Amino acid sequence: MTKKSILLSAMLLVCSMSHSFVYAFFDTNKPLVLILLWPPGSGEGVLTVKVSKAFAIPHINTANLLRDASNEESELWEQARECLNTTGAIPDSLVMQLLYQRIKRPDCQNGFIMDGLPRTLDQTEEMFGALGPRFEILAVSIQIPDEVLLAKAEGRLICETCGRVYHKEQSPPEVPMTCDHCEDLLSQRKNDSLELVQKRLTEYRHSWEPIFRFYREKGLFVEVNGNCPMEQTFQEVKTIFNQE
């Protein structure tokens, strides 16, 4: 794989869950910012890492923005820490400053992936205005039915000791409720209760729809089937890219 910029093809063709097709025309001289939009509980981390490694572009989310800022002990980190200590949240403007600081690094010159960012319509509009002249921005919505996500959460089991994750039906441990690796007792996280997962899904649909609409109206929104083996979803996402 070359070190040249990762570019979008002149015509993008992505097949969505409904088997309809989305076409968009892009400036092929710009590196790509890929925004992955996932419903909660879908296991997005695995795919994001695979895409990041496959195309040698960094993965950026709020958590690693804060981690990087704390490691550098920057002034922005001090502001973020004060906000977290006093209000438990970081203002949109500060998140955007952390993002703009991060993408100045050389590893972002060929593009990058954003996961869970932007989170509000205000962030979306500001970021589009700031990055649009330099980057081609594309939002990719991974489509998974709610009933699949609910079943996935209901069966998820965690080993608190070593962190391994199992599923009662899809990837059960050899001995029921016992970790194969460290033989400690498995448990279900409180966050995986059906009530809480359904609440998060409802909030996700409501809060992210304006963001979907923003990108859809600009012709920069595609849907990819996430209700299939991870490798198949990965291959669909890969079709978005074209390397020169």
Domains and CATH numbers, the chain: 6-58+105-238 (3.40.50.300)
Tens of pLDDT, residues 181-210: 888 999 988 888 888 888 989 988 888 999
Longest dimension (CA), the chain: 56
Average pLDDT score, the chain: 81
Instruction: Give the DSSP H/E element, type plus range, for residue 164.
Output: none
- Residue 8 in tokens: 């979008």
Q: How many CB atoms lie within 10 A of CB 3?
A: 7
Decide: residue 27, CB within 10 A, 0-12 exposed, 13-18 middle, 19+ buried: exposed
pLDDT for 243 equals 39
Distance CA 131, CA 27 (A): 14
Tens of pLDDT, residues 25-49: 455 578 889 999 988 877 667 788 8
Of the given ranges (5-9, 134-138, 219-223, 238-242), which has the lowest mean pLDDT? 5-9
Closest CA to 8 of 37, 45, 33, 40: 33
Contacts with 181 (C-beta within 8 Å, 6 or more apart), sequence order: 159, 162, 164
Q: CA dist 161 to 113, 174, 179, Å?
A: 31, 17, 9
Tens of pLDDT, residues 110-132: 999 998 888 889 989 999 999 98
Tens of pLDDT, residues 134-164: 999 999 999 999 998 888 888 889 898 888 8
Closest CA to 224 of 37, 26, 28, 10: 37
Q: Is the dihedral of CA 19, 23, 29, 33 positive or negative?
A: negative
Instruction: Give the DSSP H/E element, type plus range, for residue 111.
Output: strand 111-115
Task: Specify the pTM.
Answer: 0.76
218 pLDDT band, cuts 50/70/90, is: very high
Does residue 10 register a pLDDT over 70? no
pLDDT for 215 equals 94
Does residue 79 register a pLDDT over 60? yes
Task: Check if the beta carbon of residue 69 is closer than 8 Å to that of residue 173.
Answer: no
Q: How many CB atoms lie within 10 A of CB 41?
A: 21
Provide the phi-psi class of 88: left if phi over 0, else alpha when psi is between -120 and 50, else beta: left
- Helix runs in the chain, H state only: 44-55, 62-72, 75-86, 92-102, 121-131, 146-155, 194-217, 230-238
171 pLDDT band, cuts 50/70/90, is: confident
- 16 versus 63: the higher-pLDDT residue is 63
Torsion, Cα 115 119 125 131, to 10 degrees, reads -30
pLDDT for 125 equals 94
What is the C-alpha radius of gyration for the chain, rounded to an integer number of angstroms?
19
Q: How many CB atoms lie within 10 A of CB 142?
A: 21
